[in-house]
Amino acid sequence: MIVIEQQPKRVEVTVYAEFTLADYKEFENAVNFAIQFEGPVDLWFDLREMADFTLDVAWEDIVFARAHANDFSRIAVLTHSQWVAWSAWLSQIFVHAEMRVFDEEVEARAWLAEEEGLA
């Protein structure tokens, strides 16, 4: 299950339990909408409550990242899992955005706010 919040120039996603292909499609729709009307956006991924993801999500992430290589400014990934952190870094191969992995929400939000001139 995911919860998506649209912010100005940012899409925020929180994943709970298993991240499914249906969830990923919902994420894609939100991002495509934001990009269409705002240009490149920041992404916020809170994966601290994610228990697992399906194999088709991993594949869809690669396909989506390649198709949107220049559509993101910054990507903040919030996780306590070293495996999720490594897979986030692997995704960075396909995306030309600055990506950072954080343990603490305050640090991740501060980093995104720096770009906006709000920090």
Q: What is the pLDDT of residues 20-71, one digit of tens each?
A: 999 999 999 999 999 999 999 999 999 999 988 888 988 888 889 889 989 9
Q: Are 108 and 10 in contact (CB under 8 A)?
A: no
The whole-chain average pLDDT of the chain stands at 87
Specify the CATH number for the domain of residue 76: 3.40.50.10600
Biggest alpha carbon–alpha carbon distance for the chain: 38
User: Average of pLDDT values for 68-88?
Assistant: 82
Is the pLDDT assigned to residue 8 strictly greater than 60?
A: yes
Split at pLDDT 50, 70, 90, the class of 81 is confident
What is the domain extent for residue 47? 2-116
87 versus 78: which is more confidently predicted? 78
The predicted pLDDT at position 119 comes to 47
Q: Which residue has the higher pLDDT, 110 or 61?
A: 110
pLDDT computed for residue 55 by the predictor: 85
The structure's pTM equals 0.85
Distance of CA 100 to the CA centre of its chain: 10
Positive or negative, the Cα torsion across 100, 105, 107, 108?
A: positive
Contacts 24+ apart (CB under 8 A), 85-90: 87/58, 88/45
Structure tokens that stand for 31 in this block: 């991002």
Phi-psi region of 14 (alpha: psi -120 to 50; beta: other; left: phi over 0): beta
Task: Retrieve residue 67's tokens.
Answer: 């198709």
Number of compact structural domains in the chain? 1
